[in-house]
Structures are given as structure tokens and as C-alpha cells.
């Protein structure tokens, strides 16, 4: 759906407002009639000189001359305000810098893209419910939601990552994390290829692993956007009395729940997995739920290795990044000489870390965890597999059973063991 995007900058009215770390501290206040929809108390609503106490992410519809009057006082900045009428959501305003700059998005059809005919100030004043709030209109830009996804991420020596292979709706802000995940993936694979220890099928895994993650994230972004377009259930939001109150509560609760994953999306950024990747050694375990908002740590193959604090103040995540990492967990771990020798035979970079702390061992659930350079678990177990050359070749993208490379131990100090 086309929309028009406007950046607003607050112009303080007398007495001059003083902003300090996102708080309005001048003591000045304004009164504005609003109709409270629900979903919890409001934070900074429209924020120019309009602040309301409470938590974030509440829906308010301003309707000059009617509804409950609230006195504006200092409060926390509201990230977004949704504007609705009987037809549903027609605009929203989102903070840009947390202090005095907002983005106002006006939803609509093609006519909303004609800036020569569109009266943006009229639309902004409609949102404010009044025309005497000082503000400055920054650039006004037509915006059309776009969501695209490349069919392939690799063509020979050409590999795609980030916006080159996917664009997402802005609803959720998932594009950056998705792109960073692409780069982390292809980065270690290219390093392995250039260093000579990557298998000939390693780069093929980039698309196999990352394309489903991008599809998942794009799908969730679309779900967030569709909340804006749902026009059902708004018919009685301006009604007086019990029926109107019930309608407003229902709309507020529905929007607060539906928009939660757009603002609370740790599961999107951290909870993806590559369990079905050909360079991940599966163990038959069941993974945690794929919840857009929640992230459950697990050492299951294909998932991000868990974080735990080490005695020296570092995180276990600080151990990853230079080749593969073998975590040897618990007070009585199994022998690891076989996989160490398998690594040395071909110059496969492997660093072993002994972590006897019981709290770390309990978090990882297995005594041995093999982690890739970008922090993804490649394999785990309570003992080494029967064929450690096979394990090594699977996780580096080399066909199992193929003629294995032979490297010089003296020329490639691949294994460093630390306590």
C-alpha cells in the first residue's frame, strides 16, 4: 500500500521546553482532548508538548472536543502512536531520535502519493486534534512498501547478502539483522575457502541456511504490516456509553497484542536456526518454539551457541570467531584427542576450551559442543562420534567419503588448547 512519510521536528512553544534524555523537564504543560482506546497508559503521545504518564505502546485516537481530558506532564517517550477512525488505522507517528524528531506515516492509496495535491499539514493537524501545536515539517517523501526476495543467493563466484538479496517492509526493522546474519554466514565460509580448509560444497550452504531465515523474517514483517491494514472492529470506537467503551477496550487490546512482535522481536534476531543445513550435524533433538518475540538459548545443532559468563568476566561468546571452537564442559569430560588429530591432519582451525563450571555445563546440556566461527553450533554430544574425520568434513562442507586433504602439521598450527 502506498504511503507518504513526513519527518517532524518539534518547535518548542513558550515557555520554552527543555529536553533532557528524552524527558520534558520545563514544567510546562498543555491540555488536549483525547479518546483513550486502551492497551495500557500512554507514554509521550505526540510528545511536542503532550506527555502522559505510563508505559509504552498504547493506542490513542485524538478527537478534538470529545472524550477524556488528560493533563500533559513529564513522562517517558512513546515509540509509536497509531491513529484510527471508524475505518481503521489511517496514520502513525514514530519517534526517530527519542527527543524531538518523529516520522509521520500517512497510509492510503495512490492519491496519497501526489504531493502536489496532498495537504500534509491538514493531515498532521487531524492527528494532533488541533492546529495550534508548533512543529516544523521536514522532508515529505512518498513511500511504497516493498518486499522482495532473490530466488538464488549464489551464482558461481557471485554470492549475495543483505539488501542485495532481500528487502523487507519497515514494520519490525528486521532488514538490518537479517543482512548482518547473511554477512556473518558468508564471511566465515569465504575465509575457509581462501584459507584452503573449506570443502567444495561449503559456499552452497550459504543459500541453504540463510534463505529460509530471510523468508521467515519477511513473513513476520508482513504480518506486522497487515495489522495496520485490518479494518475490522472499528465501527463503534467513537460510540458513547458501555458499547463504545467495550469497543475501544477490544480494539486497544487487539492492537497491543498484534503489534507486540513488531517491537519485541528478540526471537527474530536471535532465534533462527540452521538445523537442516548440510553442514550441521543433527542429533535428533527437538528445538525450542520459533517465537518472534522470545529467544530461548539452546546448544542444539544449528542454533546460536548459548551465552554464559566466564570467571574472568568474558562471555562464552567471546571464545568464538577464529576458526571452530570445541567447548569441553563439566568436571569429567570425555577425551577429545581424536577430533583434535582429525583437525590437525588437514589444517582445520580448531580451538578447544575446557569449561568445568557446572552452570555452563547445565546450560549446554552436552559435554562437548562444536561451534562454528560465527557462533552457530555445528555438533554436540556426550562423547565423540566413531568417525571424527567424517564429522570434520561435514561441518566444513566436504563430501563425506571423498578423498580427504592431507596437510602438514608443522605448516598449519591448527589446534590451540586452552584451559
* Residue 94 or 389, more confident: 389
Quick one: pLDDT at residue 416?
33
What are residue 326's DSSP bridge partners?
352, 370
Q: What is the dihedral of CA 118, 124, 126, 127, to 10 degrees?
A: 130
Q: List the end-to-end C-alpha distance of the chain, in Å, as a whole number.
A: 57
Q: How many CB atoms lie within 10 A of CB 12?
A: 16
Of the candidate CATH numbers 3.30.70.120, 3.20.20.100, 3.30.60.50, 3.40.30.120, the domain formed by 316-418 belongs to 3.40.30.120
Measure Cα distances from 72 to 60, 103, 269 in Å: 14, 21, 36
What are residue 152's DSSP bridge partners?
none
Compute the distance between CA of residue 54 and CA of residue 284 in angstroms, rounded to an integer. 46
pLDDT > 80? residue 23: no
What are residue 36's DSSP bridge partners?
60
pLDDT average, residue stretch 255-273: 90
pLDDT > 60? residue 293: yes
Maximum average pLDDT range among 61-65, 73-77, 132-136: 132-136
Maximum average pLDDT range among 59-73, 216-230, 391-405: 216-230
Q: pLDDT band at 231, cuts 50/70/90?
A: confident
pLDDT average, residue stretch 92-101: 78
| CB contact at 8 A, 138 and 96 | no
* Residue 123 or 37, more confident: 123
Compute the distance between CA of residue 127 and CA of residue 193 in angstroms, rounded to an integer. 55
Quick one: pLDDT at residue 78?
64
Compute the distance between CA of residue 170 and CA of residue 167 in angstroms, rounded to an integer. 9
Q: Collect all residues with Cβ–Cβ distance below 8 Å to 401 and sequence separation of at least 6.
A: none
Q: pLDDT tens digit string along 109-155?
A: 666 667 777 788 888 888 888 888 777 777 777 777 778 899 999 99
pTM recorded for the entire structure: 0.74
pLDDT > 90? residue 57: no
Q: Collect all residues with Cβ–Cβ distance below 8 Å to 335 and sequence separation of at least 6.
A: 384
Lowest mean pLDDT among 72-86, 95-109, 126-140: 72-86
Quick one: pLDDT at residue 41?
28
Q: pLDDT tens digit string along 301-352?
A: 999 999 999 999 999 999 999 999 999 999 989 999 999 999 999 999 999 9
Question: Cell numbers 508548533 label which residue?
Answer: 134
Maximum average pLDDT range among 172-181, 186-195, 243-252: 186-195
CA angle in degrees (0–180, nearest 5) for 183-187-193: 150
* Residue 8 or 80, more confident: 80
> Where are the domain boundaries for CATH 3.40.30.120 in the chain?
316-418
| CB contact at 8 A, 398 and 324 | no
Mean pLDDT of the chain: 77
Q: Collect all residues with Cβ–Cβ distance below 8 Å to 241 and sequence separation of at least 6.
A: none
> Where are the domain boundaries for CATH 3.50.50.60 in the chain?
148-224
| CB contact at 8 A, 382 and 361 | no
Measure Cα distances from 100 to 11, 18, 24, 43, 97 in Å: 8, 10, 10, 14, 7
Check residue 112 and report its DSSP letter.
G
Phi first, then psi: give them for residue 350, nearest 5 degrees. Answer: -140, 130
Phi first, then psi: give them for residue 376, nearest 5 degrees. Answer: -95, 135
- What does the block give as the cell for 34? 483525547
Of the candidate CATH numbers 3.30.70.1050, 3.10.20.30, 3.50.50.60, 3.40.50.720, the domain formed by 148-224 belongs to 3.50.50.60
Quick one: pLDDT at residue 310?
95
* Backbone angle region of 365, left / alpha / beta, with phi > 0 → left and psi within -120 to 50 → alpha: left
- What does the block give as the cell for 227? 495489522
Helix (H, G, I), strand (E, B) or coil at 84: strand
Amino acid at each position: 500500500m502506498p504511503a507518504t512519510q513526513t519527518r517532524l521536528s518539534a518547535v518548542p512553544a513558550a515557555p520554552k521546553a527543555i529536553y533532557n534524555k528524552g524527558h520534558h523537564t520545563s514544567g510546562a504543560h498543555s491540555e488536549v482532548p483525547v479518546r483513550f482506546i486502551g492497551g495500557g497508559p500512554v507514554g509521550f503521545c505526540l510528545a511536542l508538548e503532550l506527555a502522559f504518564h505510563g508505559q509504552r505502546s498504547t493506542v490513542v485516537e485524538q478527537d478534538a472536543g470529545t472524550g477524556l481530558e488528560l493533563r500533559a506532564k513529564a513522562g517517558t517517550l512513546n515509540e509509536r502512536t497509531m491513529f484510527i477512525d471508524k475505518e481503521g488505522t489511517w496514520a502513525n507517528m514514530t519517534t526517530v531520535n527519542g527527543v524531538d524528531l518523529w516520522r509521520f506515516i500517512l497510509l492510503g492509496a495512490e492519491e496519497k502519493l501526489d504531493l502536489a495535491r496532498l495537504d500534509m499539514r491538514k493531515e498532521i493537524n487531524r492527528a494532533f486534534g488541533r492546529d495550534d501545536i508548533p512543529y516544523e515539517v521536514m522532508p515529505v517523501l512518498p513511500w511504497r512498501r516493498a518486499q522482495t526476495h532473490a530466488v538464488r543467493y549464489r551464482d558461481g563466484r557471485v554470492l549475495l547478502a543483505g539488501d542485495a538479496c532481500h528487502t523487507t517492509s519497515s514494520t519490525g526493522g528486521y532488514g538490518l539483522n537479517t543482512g548482518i546474519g547473511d554477512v556473518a554466514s558468508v564471511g566465515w565460509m569465504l575465509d575457509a575457502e581462501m584459507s584452503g580448509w573449506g570443502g567444495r560444497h561449503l559456499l552452497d550452504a550459504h543459500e541453504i541456511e540463510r534463505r529460509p531465515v530471510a523468508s521467515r523474517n519477511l513473513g513476520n514483517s508482513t504480518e506486522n504490516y497487515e495489522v495496520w491494514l485490518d479494518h475490522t472492529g472499528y465501527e463503534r470506537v467513537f460510540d458513547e456509553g458501555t458499547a463504545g467503551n467495550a469497543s475501544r477496550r477490544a480494539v486497544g487490546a487487539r492492537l497491543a497484542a498484534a503489534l507486540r512482535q513488531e517491537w519485541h522481536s528478540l526471537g527474530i534476531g536471535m532465534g533462527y536456526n540452521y538445523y537442516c543445513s548440510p553442514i550441521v550435524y543433527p542429533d535428533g533433538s527437538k528445538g525450542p518454539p520459533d517465537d518472534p518475540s522470545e529467544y530461548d538459548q539452546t546448544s542444539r545443532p544449528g542454533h546460536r551457541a548459548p551465552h554464559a559468563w566466564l570467571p574472568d568476566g568474558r562471555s562464552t561468546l567471546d571464545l568464538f570467531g577464529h576458526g571452530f571452537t570445541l567447548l569441553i564442559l563439566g568436571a569429567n569430560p570425555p577425551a577429545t584427542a581424536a577430533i583434535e588429530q582429525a583437525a590437525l591432519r588437514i589444517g582445520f582451525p580448531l580451538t578447544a576450551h575446557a569449561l568445568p563450571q557446572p552452570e555452563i555445563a547445565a546450560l549446554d546440556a552436552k559435554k562437548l559442543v562444536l561451534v562454528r566461527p560465527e557462533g552457530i553450533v555445528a555438533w554436540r554430544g556426550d562423547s565423540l562420534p566413531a568417525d571424527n574425520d567424517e564429522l570434520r568434513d561435514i561441518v566444513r562442507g566436504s563430501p563425506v567419503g571423498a578423498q580427504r586433504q592431507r596437510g602438514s602439521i608443522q605448516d598449519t598450527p591448527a589446534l590451540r588448547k586452552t584451559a
